Structure 1
Amino acid sequence: MLVIFALLISNRGSEDVRVEGNPIIEALIPKADSEVLRQSAVGIDLISGYEAELTINGISIPPDQINVLRDEENPRESANTGGSFGSTLNRFLYQPLGGRAVPELLGGKNCVLAEFWPISDPSARKKIEWCFTAL
């Protein structure tokens, strides 16, 4: 009885973030409920064959400000050209900088909404939201 109760409590509040057991999402950057610096990169790591859009604290990030890393061995070429879809790396990262959509993360709680979909079916969009603290 106690074990069942503990399982119910441990799953509470996790409806929004389903990374464990989700074969599409490899990582949230930064991790949910973590503490990072206000200049830290924000994004999502997906399996290959997927695209993503990011919204940080309600601000939609323009696609040209999202660095898509698809080739770990040649990250500069990957970021500039979209890389190879055969790679296992598929990270969508936003780096806060002056003059960009989000120049720096808020001090305190920040939330990210990532929408992602298979390249072969853009209508099959899914969403995941997570929050973290910036110091």
Structure 2
Amino acid sequence: MTMQFSPNISFPGNATEALRFYHEVFGGELDIMTYDDMPDMNFPFEPPAGTVAHATLNSGTVYIAGGDAMGPDSPGLASEAYSFLLQFDNVVEARDYIVRLTAGGGEVTMAFEKAPWGDYYGQVTDQFGVVWMLNAADN
């Protein structure tokens, strides 16, 4: 059996901006399809022009899917109920990603320091409200 787990994020109208930012951070291949690009499928809603129906970012190590949430009751992304964990082989690489994830206006919400389990650990909330946990082996 072959399976891959990846998050699918429903952005509050800024999916293109967010996924382009993640493309800058992680690299890889970004594919964005708007509702304008799709055939008429009789959706139960009227998507605004340019709204993202489906997008994927595949960097080889990070795979993110997403699109724009539809409807006035769409939740925002800022939440402490979920986060994405990035695992690194070394502290230097993890610190580089902290800089990348905060470059657009994000913030370090937990300092990247030696953790009780022996690795280095910290948290960042990016400019879109997504929480990233970073863990790196201490070598």
Normalised TM-score (structure 1): 0.33
Work out which structure has the larger RCO, using CA pairs closer than 8 Å and 6 or more positions apart in sequence. 1
Normalised TM-score (structure 2): 0.33
Rg larger in 1 or in 2? 2
Whose helix proportion is higher, 1 or 2? 2
